[in-house]
């Protein structure tokens, strides 16, 4: 068990910065997700934490120990961390049991200890009956569980997961999410989970670090990320919605008002007078004949039980609304905006 402290961490690959000056802290026992589009630096950060790569600048601390600086680092084999790979990285020449017991062999435990702990890890991941199979005889989900059992058995301080569900089908992903959550509850280990799938991150993580272009854009709980995005990138990357610029703001003692899309509406924010943009989520928009602005339906997508309407307002802005009633493409309707989130973008 350990917290992870990252100070001014940077990584340059062949002259191109992959990570820029990251300073953050993952608390002991937290489930952290690193979320971002491909190439945002999330996997680089994870590999630096594991020790597979060496930082170009900054320091990483796991627990009380400084594990990496730009000049020296503790090699991965001495860090006591677990790593779950996207490709599972099971050793194809070893049966399931040996794949799981290998970390214990390395630690030079006695034979009975190894057997007991391996059995416990296999039982915890529901693999007892597959113990003597070879990895090639297992399905994708079973292989992923072997990889988890291999992590579990060595009682790591932190577990790092690199898009572990990317190679699985949709149905299996849901059940594996449960496996990961259970694993986290049982071990209490600090977990860092890299993904580009926001639904996965939202479902499992205590806190999500949204990354883009080698920087952490915002690091907050899933709710805060969705409801109170700090900037345009986070607002557009997390959840559905449209970011529109603010023309003018006025505020009295109780309420902040913003002029957007030609109307004046009440908004929430923590930036007060500096707000520059508003994030309009479907739940901020309701359809009514007497709405603040007029819009035309451009596309209708059935979501199951409700419809997602892509509408275009009179001034040409694309707005997303959800409704239970069906509208036809081309229909005119009125939209009312209720207290959306406003933020300041530099």
Partner 1 sequence: MQSALQKGGSRSEYRLLSAILILALCLTLAPVLRLFIEGVTDQGAPSLSLVKSVLAQDSTLNALKHSLITAGLGTLVSVVLGAAFAFLVALTDLRAKAALVFCLMIPMMIPPQITALSWTQIMGPSSVLLKTLGIAPPLGAPQPLYSPEGIILLLGIQHMSIIFLTLRAGLRAIPQEVVEAARISGARGFRTWWQVVMPLTLPSLAAGTAITFVTALGNFGIPAMLGIPAGYVTLPTLVYQKLAGMGTTVLAEVSVLAMLIGAVAIVGILLQRFFQGRQNVYLVGSTSRPLAIPLGSARLPVEILLWAVVFVILVLPMFGLLATSLVPAYGVPLRFDTMTFASWGEVLFRQPVTARAFANSFSLALGAAVVLMIICLPLAWLMERHPTRLSRLFDSLLDLPYALPGVVLSIAMILLLIKLPFTEATLYGTIWIIFLAYLARFFAVMFRPVQASLKQLDPAMAEAAQSVGAGLFQRLRDVILPLSAPAAAAGAILVFLTAFNELTVSALLWSSGTETLGVVIFNLDDSGETAMASALAMTIVFVVIALMTLIQLFSRRFPKGVVPWQT
- Decide whether 14 or 248 has the Cβ nearer to partner 1: 14
Decide if residue 103 touches partner 1 (CB under 8 A).
Answer: yes
- Decide whether 162 or 292 has the Cβ nearer to partner 1: 162
Q: Which two tokens stand for residue 229?
A: 């995005």
3-class DSSP state of 121: helix
- Decide whether 56 or 263 has the Cβ nearer to partner 1: 56
How many chain residues touch partner 1 (CB under 8 A)? 34
Q: Which residues contact 77 (CB under 8 A, 6 or more apart)?
A: none
Q: How far is the CB of 172 from partner 1 (least distance, A)?
A: 20
Decide if residue 282 touches partner 1 (CB under 8 A).
Answer: no
Decide if residue 83 touches partner 1 (CB under 8 A).
Answer: yes
Decide if residue 93 touches partner 1 (CB under 8 A).
Answer: yes
Alpha helix segments (H runs only) across the chain: 42-50, 96-106, 111-124, 140-153, 170-187, 198-204, 222-227, 232-237
N-to-C CA span, the chain: 38
Decide if residue 135 touches partner 1 (CB under 8 A).
Answer: no
Q: Which range touches partner 1 (CB under 8 A), out of 79-87, 178-186, 191-199, 306-314?
A: 79-87
Handedness of CA 111, 114, 117, 118 (dihedral sign): negative
Q: Which of 30, 53, 220, 292 binds partner 1 (CB under 8 A)?
A: 53
3-class DSSP state of 55: coil
Torsion angle, alpha carbons of 37, 39, 42, 45, to 10: -170
Decide if residue 173 touches partner 1 (CB under 8 A).
Answer: no
Binders in 105-124 for partner 1, by CB under 8 A: 106-107
3-class DSSP state of 280: strand
| CB-CB contact of 70 with 14 (8 Å) | no
Q: Which of 31, 41, 45, 51 binds partner 1 (CB under 8 A)?
A: 51
CA distances from 322 to 226, 228, 241, 283, 328 (A): 17, 20, 11, 7, 14
Q: How far is the CB of 19 from partner 1 (least distance, A)?
A: 13
3-class DSSP state of 59: strand
Q: Which of 7, 57, 63, 89 binds partner 1 (CB under 8 A)?
A: 89
Decide if residue 344 touches partner 1 (CB under 8 A).
Answer: no
Interface residue list for partner 1 (CB under 8 A)? 12-13, 50-54, 56, 73, 75-83, 85-87, 89-93, 102-103, 106-107, 147, 150, 154, 160
């Amino acid at each position: 068990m350990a917290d992870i402290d990252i100070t001014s961490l940077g990584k340059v690959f062949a002259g191109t910065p992959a990570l820029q000056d990251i300073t953050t802290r993952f608390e002991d026992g937290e489930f952290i997700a690193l979320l971002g589009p491909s190439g945002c630096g999330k996997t680089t950060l994870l590999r630096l934490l594991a020790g597979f790569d060496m930082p170009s600048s900054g320091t990483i601390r796991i627990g009380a120990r400084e594990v990496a600086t730009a000049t020296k680092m503790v090699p991965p084999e001495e860090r006591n961390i677990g790593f779950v790979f996207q490709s599972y990285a099971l050793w194809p020449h070893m049966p399931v049991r040996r794949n799981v017991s290998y970390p214990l062999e390395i630690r030079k435990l006695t034979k009975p200890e190894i057997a007991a702990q391996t059995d416990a890890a296999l039982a915890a991941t529901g693999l007892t009956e597959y113990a003597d199979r070879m990895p090639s005889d297992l399905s994708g989900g079973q292989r992923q569980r072997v990889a988890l059992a291999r992590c579990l058995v060595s009682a790591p301080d932190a577990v790092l997961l690199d898009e572990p569900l990317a190679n699985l089908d949709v149905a299996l992903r849901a059940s594996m999410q449960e496996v990961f959550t259970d694993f986290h509850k049982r071990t209490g280990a600090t977990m860092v989970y890299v993904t580009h799938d926001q639904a996965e991150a939202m479902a499992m993580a205590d806190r999500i670090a949204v990354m883009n272009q080698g920087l952490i854009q915002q690091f907050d709980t899933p709710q805060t990320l969705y409801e109170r995005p700090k900037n345009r990138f986070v607002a557009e990357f997390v959840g559905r919605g449209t970011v529109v610029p603010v023309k003018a703001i006025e505020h009295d003692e109780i309420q902040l008002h913003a002029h957007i899309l030609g109307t004046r509406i009440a908004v929430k924010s923590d930036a007060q007078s500096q707000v520059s943009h508003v994030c309009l989520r479907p739940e901020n928009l309701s359809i009514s004949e007497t709405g603040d602005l007029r819009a035309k339906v451009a596309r209708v997508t059935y979501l199951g039980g409700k419809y997602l309407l892509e509408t275009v307002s009179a001034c040409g802005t694309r707005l997303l609304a959800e409704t239970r009633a069906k509208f036809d493409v081309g229909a005119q309707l009125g939209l009312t905006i209720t207290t959306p989130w406003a933020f300041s973008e530099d």
